[in-house]
């Protein structure tokens, strides 16, 4: 089954995950989610496949996270997903998807265990 990696080329962890897929001779497709933006439905599907809540996928060190004052706001799951769709910097990366399963590739050991 073909693997999809939701990838940001400027992210070192994402590049390392991509290299891991290449070294494993995996059959994969790269989705540059800054160019091909996530839809709300796609993010919801990936979250379900990873068994994560939207808040689990937030990059808490990003300026957008601080600007939206997540620490002091009680955003709904749908609002968080909408913020991530509008601003992909908020999304942890990379995400690796195989069929009905997906994993957040941070830490990288998640990728190694997932593609075995």
Catalytic residue among 11, 64, 98, 115: 11
Active site residue 11: yes
Contacts (Cβ under 8 Å, ≥6 apart) of 107? none
Whether the CB-CB separation of 91 and 38 falls below 8 Å is answered with yes
Tokens representing residue 83 in the block: 């913020």
Q: Which single residue is written with the structure tokens 């001779």? A: 25
Q: How far apart are the C-alpha atoms of 35 and 77, rounded to whole Å?
A: 24
Give the Cβ contact number of residue 6 at 10 Å: 26
Catalytic residue list: 11
């Amino acid at each position: 089954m073909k693997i999809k990696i939701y990838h940001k080329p400027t992210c070192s962890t994402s590049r390392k995950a991509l290299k891991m897929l290449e070294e494993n001779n995996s059959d994969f497709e790269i989705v540059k989610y800054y160019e091909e933006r996530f839809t709300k439905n796609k993010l919801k599907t990936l979250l379900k496949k990873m068994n994560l809540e939207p808040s689990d996928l937030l990059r808490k060190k990003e300026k957008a996270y601080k600007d939206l004052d997540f620490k002091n706001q009680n955003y709904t799951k749908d609002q968080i997903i909408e913020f991530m769709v509008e601003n992909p910097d908020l999304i942890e990366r990379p995400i690796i998807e195989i069929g009905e399963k997906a994993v957040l590739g941070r830490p990288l050991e998640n990728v190694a265990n997932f593609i075995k």
